[in-house]
Structure formats: structure tokens, C-alpha cells
């Protein structure tokens, strides 16, 4: 394996930015120091004027394989991820077939081991009738990121609305429980009312009124009540409303929290005002809502009530997204552009680069207790990203790597760009070129 020394680069890590040399040897960061002398065969990279960040760890993606490979594959989406500076991902269970048994879960790990250019982990899926399979995951808590429960709308049979099932999982799971929280009864009630009022004239602009604030709040509240009752480790995904923020605290360090929350880049960027321009392209669950929600999410992100920034990357074909509102599927492809988007907000002065690293790299590592990743530390895996904060990059068809081939950011110019991505010390991406000779690793977890 090729070894590297990166010279005079601004290293962003653990709340500080310092100019250092960084030595990468045999998968790991060997040394970080102001001036490193090397002996032997090393490739030198001049990092002057650039920043070195720990690779992004995205705790919520849908890479669609197996079963929906016309939309995406683990190979295609992991490739897009590394081009955008995401070096590790945790993928959701609502594939076809859904990962509702230990055998189906391990099938996904097998696919990733052969095809993923990024590091990987997969959530065990929950349904109303697979409790026995879910609890077998307790024996794999050092090798599986968590259990995913859809406490709201989902594909197939993955909606968990049986309180006995929820009681059993929350009281017995030794893994982190990640939830999608939207109250299905409220959504169905709203949908019926809107259908009666507007019929086929429904559009994407109605989406946040159907999947409304109340649906999110009520479901999140129930999840938290279950977690508090059983002292479970709960992580609520993609918070989208200002009202839900009263449910989360910032009075203790992240490592001590039993209830944590994630915000996604599209809820930080778009608002309901954008449906006029993008329509179904930004239709997603939970919905992008009125502007006051985005304002609240930013405030809670910066004061640490929200712990992690992720994507909920969820690609669909362009043709599917052109269907009428009721037929068009929910989900947005985002994993290639999440870090460039957040660096845009750094350039605008809305968030510091150190805070971006905290929320996209450090916090996922703490939250999921990931072993030897998420930081630029000697001895840790060399998952790292070089970014040029002064190199604008325009999103165009030819540089969108998602299999679906489209992005809501097409035509947009980000003010900063990812130039190099290392995964386990392997330079997998450099200025638009990929070296696919080495695959990512299965993530491991430091859990008692």
C-alpha cells in the first residue's frame, strides 16, 4: 500500500485548526507534527492553503441494494460518497428484501465487502413481527451500528405501530435504536382531508401540510417516552421541526446522552418556499417545512441540542420524480454534496469549519461508539479529506456520481471543493479520478 506525507496543511480536529504535516502509513495516521522527516518511499502532497478534515461519517443513507438497483447500488453510492468527502456510511434496512433477518443483514455486508469504496455498517430492521431476529443483533453489537425502527411511514412491512413490539425492543435491545418519527394516524387523517379538498390537484407544496409538525412531534415524543421508560439508547433521525427541539437537551456531553438527535442537510438548506422551484425533487419524509423550522434547526445545531449532521441520502430515478405528487416517491440524493454544502455555510459565516467537523465526523463516532474513526489522531484509521476552501466547483451532469444521475444542486456552484479522499489510508479519490483497487472496511464499535 502506498504511504503519504501531507505537508503544511491546516488540520481541523477537535475544535482547533493548526498547520501540520500528516504521515499516513499502512491504513493509519502514523504521525501529526509541524515538521515530519520521512525515510523510505512516501508520496508527498503539498497541502499549503488547504484543509485536512476527518472523513465524514454519514449515519443515515439508503443505497437501495439489494432489490432496487435501478435507483442505486452500494457501489455507485459509496463511490459518490467518497467524491464528496464521506468516508463511512450507515445504511438503512428498507431494501427489497428488507434486512429483517440476520441472514439478510449479513448479505448486505457481503455485498459491501466486495463493492463499497467507503467504510460501511448496516442497521438491523424492525417490523411488528421480527422481535426474535432483532434481539439476536445483541450478539453483534461490536459489528452492527444499530437497530432501525420506522415509527412512521415506511416501505413494505416496516412500519412498527405495535406497542408490544416497541416495548420489547426498547426494553431488550443492547444496541442504539434509531427511529424515523412521524405519526401515521395523523398523516393519514391529513391526507384524507387534502384529497377531499383538492383531489388530483395535490402538489409537492402540500407535502409539509400533510406530513405536518404535529405528526413529527407526537411520534418523537412517544419514542422518547419509550426510551426513558426502559433507559434505552435512542437516536432520533432527521429532525425537521422547531417544535421537536424542546425534546432535546445540551446540558451534558454527547458521550453521556442517552437520547440524541440528527439533522439532515436538506432540512438545513431548503424550506417549503422551495417547492415552487423544485417540486417533487425535494419531496422527502419527513417533509421540508416552513422557514421558521429551518431557523430553529440551525439554532439547535449550533447550541448542541442537535448532535449530528447527516443526509438521509435516498435516490430515485428521474422518471419517478416526474410523476404526479401522489405517485412520486419521497427521497433526495445528497451524499456527494453534503460536505460541500456545509462548507458553503462556513464560507458564509453561519457555522465554523471546526463545528462542521464536530457534527459530521466526531459526533457520529461518539454517538455510535465507532472504533478508531472520526478524528485525525495518531493510530486512528486514515479516513481523511483534503478540501480547498477557495476552489469553486459547479455541479454538472458529468460530475454527479449517483446512479440516478440527478441532484437538486445541479447547476449550483459550491465555493469550496473536495480534492482528495483517503479511506483507510488509500487515496480513493483525487480531483475527479478514482482508484477503486481497495475497498472500504466494515466498521467496528467499542461497546461493552
Residue range 100-140, pLDDT digits in tens: 999 999 999 999 999 999 999 999 999 999 999 999 999 99
CA distances from residue 199 to 91, 209, 234, 391 in whole angstroms, order as listed: 36, 15, 38, 48
200, burial (CB in 10 Å: exposed 0-12, middle 13-18, buried 19+): exposed
Closest CA to 418 of 382, 389, 378: 389
Instruction: Give residue-wise pLDDT tens across range 147-193.
Output: 999 986 555 678 888 899 999 999 999 999 999 999 999 999 999 99
pLDDT for position 328: 98
Of 14, 41, 83, give the one whose Cα is nearest residue 380: 14
Residue 93 has pLDDT above 90, yes or no: yes
pLDDT of 11-27, one tens digit each?
A: 999 999 999 999 999 99
Kindly report the backbone phi and psi dihedral angles of residue 297, in degrees, each rounded to the nearest multiple of 5, phi listed first.
Answer: -65, -40
φ/ψ region of 405 (left if φ > 0, alpha if ψ in -120 to 50, else beta) reads left
For the segment 284-320, what is each residue's pLDDT rounded down to a tens digit? 999 999 999 999 999 999 999 999 999 999 999 999 9
Which pLDDT belongs to residue 157?
Answer: 73
Question: What's residue 448's pLDDT?
Answer: 72
Statement: residue 251 has pLDDT above 60: yes
Q: Decide the pairing of beta strands 393-394 and 413-414.
A: antiparallel
Q: 360 Cβ partners below 8 Å, 6+ apart?
A: 56, 57, 58, 308, 309, 338, 339, 342
Mean pLDDT of 84-93: 98
Contact of 300 with 245, CB cutoff 8 Å: yes
pLDDT score at 48? 98
Residue 376: per-residue pLDDT: 98
Total number of residues shown for the chain: 448
Find out whether 333 and 314 touch, Cβ atoms under 8 Å: yes
User: What would the DSSP string read from start to end of 68-89?
Assistant: -TTT--HHHHHHHHHHTTEEEE
Give Cα separations from 410 to 333, 351, 403 (angstroms): 11, 24, 14
Distance, CA of 80 to CA of 93 (rounded, Å): 20
Chain mean pLDDT for the chain: 97
Residue % of the chain over a pLDDT of 90: 96
Residue 39: pLDDT band (50, 70, 90) is confident
Per-residue pLDDT of 374-418, as tens digits, reads 999 999 999 999 999 999 999 999 999 999 999 999 999 999 999
- Nearest to residue 182, comparing CAs of 207, 215, 208? 215
pLDDT greater than 70 at residue 322: yes
> pLDDT per residue over 323-376, tens digit each?
999 999 999 999 999 999 999 999 999 999 999 999 999 999 999 999 999 999
**CB-count burial class (<10 Å; 0-12, 13-18, 19+) for 389:** middle
| CA–CA dist 284, 69 (Å, integer) | 20
Amino acid at each position: 500500500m502506498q504511504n503519504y506525507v501531507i505537508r503544511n496543511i491546516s488540520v481541523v480536529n477537535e475544535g482547533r485548526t493548526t498547520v501540520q504535516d500528516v504521515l499516513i502509513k499502512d491504513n493509519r495516521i502514523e504521525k501529526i507534527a509541524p515538521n515530519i522527516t520521512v525515510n523510505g518511499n512516501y508520496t508527498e502532497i503539498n497541502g499549503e492553503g488547504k484543509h485536512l478534515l476527518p472523513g465524514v461519517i454519514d449515519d443515515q443513507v439508503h443505497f437501495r441494494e439489494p432489490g432496487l438497483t435501478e435507483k442505486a447500488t452500494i457501489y455507485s453510492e459509496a463511490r459518490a460518497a467518497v467524491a464528496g468527502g464521506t468516508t463511512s456510511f450507515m445504511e438503512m434496512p428498507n431494501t427489497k428484501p428488507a434486512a429483517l433477518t440476520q441472514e439478510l443483514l449479513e448479505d448486505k455486508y457481503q455485498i459491501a465487502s466486495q463493492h463499497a469504496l467507503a467504510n460501511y455498517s448496516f442497521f438491523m430492521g424492525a417490523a411488528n413481527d421480527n422481535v426474535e431476529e432483532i434481539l439476536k443483533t445483541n450478539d453483534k453489537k461490536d459489528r452492527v451500528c444499530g437497530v432501525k425502527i420506522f415509527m412512521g411511514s415506511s416501505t413494505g412491512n416496516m412500519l412498527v405501530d405495535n406497542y408490544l413490539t416497541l416495548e420489547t425492543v426498547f426494553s431488550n435491545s443492547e444496541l442504539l435504536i434509531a427511529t424515523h418519527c412521524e405519526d401515521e394516524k395523523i398523516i393519514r387523517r391529513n391526507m384524507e382531508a387534502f384529497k377531499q379538498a383538492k383531489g388530483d390537484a395535490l402538489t409537492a407544496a402540500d407535502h409539509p401540510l400533510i406530513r405536518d409538525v404535529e405528526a413529527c412531534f407526537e411520534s418523537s415524543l412517544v419514542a422518547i417516552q419509550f426510551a426513558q421508560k426502559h433507559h434505552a439508547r435512542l437516536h432520533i433521525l432527521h429532525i425537521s421541526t422547531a417544535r421537536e427541539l424542546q425534546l432535546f437537551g445540551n446540558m451534558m456531553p454527547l458521550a453521556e446522552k442517552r437520547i440524541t438527535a440528527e439533522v439532515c442537510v436538506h432540512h438545513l438548506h431548503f424550506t417549503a418556499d422551495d417547492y415552487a422551484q423544485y417540486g417533487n425533487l425535494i419531496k422527502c419524509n419527513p417533509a421540508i417545512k416552513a422557514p421558521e423550522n429551518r431557523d430553529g434547526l440551525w439554532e439547535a445545531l449550533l447550541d448542541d441540542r442537535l448532535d449530528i449532521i447527516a443526509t438521509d441520502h435516498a435516490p430515485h430515478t428521474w422518471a419517478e420524480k416526474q410523476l404526479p405528487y401522489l405517485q412520486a416517491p419521497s427521497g433526495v440524493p445528497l451524499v456527494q454534496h453534503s460536505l460541500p454544502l456545509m462548507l458553503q455555510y462556513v464560507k458564509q459565516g453561519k457555522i465554523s469549519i471546526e463545528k462542521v467537523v464536530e457534527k459530521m465526523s466526531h459526533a457520529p463516532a461518539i454517538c455510535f461508539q465507532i472504533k478508531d474513526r472520526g478524528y485525525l489522531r495518531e493510530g486512528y484509521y486514515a479516513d481523511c479529506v483534503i478540501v480547498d476552501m477557495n476552489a469553486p466547483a459547479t455541479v454538472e451532469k458529468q460530475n454527479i456520481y449517483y446512479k440516478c444521475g440527478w441532484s437538486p444542486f445541479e447547476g449550483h456552484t459550491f465555493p469550496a471543493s473536495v480534492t482528495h479522499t483517503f479511506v483507510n489510508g488509500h487515496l480513493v479519490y483525487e480531483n475527479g479520478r478514482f482508484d477503486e483497487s481497495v475497498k472500504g472496511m466494515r466498521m467496528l464499535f467499542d461497546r461493552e
